[in-house]
Structure 1
Amino acid sequence: MTKLILETKEQIAQLKEEQQNALAIYLQKHLALILQQAEREKRIEENTYTINDFNEETQQAII
């Protein structure tokens, strides 16, 4: 993993600053989504979930 991170960092360093900023924004957005999904999955596993933790189709089936 460390090697992969270092290689990725080197590749990012080769990008123009504008491209680096665009990539950073993209990564922040998608990392936030991944973390939100992980939190939902954790709540479901721990049985501390709410109906909002399920997708719309599942919510309709529950109601």
Structure 2
Amino acid sequence: MLVFLTTGCISLHHGRKALRRTIIFTSLLLIPLGGSFIRLVRQAELAALIQQVLGNRTVTFFASGIN
């Protein structure tokens, strides 16, 4: 859109209007997507913490030579 505006392929009035609509719709999408991304990051951090705690506190015995 910016390229069409700068090269003069579309009028400045129509270009600004379309660019404004694009920015509004993009921002409407970014709000829920941003919230979902933050939730996924927190879940990944929690899963890594649980895996680390369980890995550090688990005693594992290997039966070597037993068939």
More relative contact order, 1 or 2 (CA 8 Å, 6+ apart): 2
Q: TM-score, normalised by structure 1?
A: 0.48
Q: TM-score, normalised by structure 2?
A: 0.46
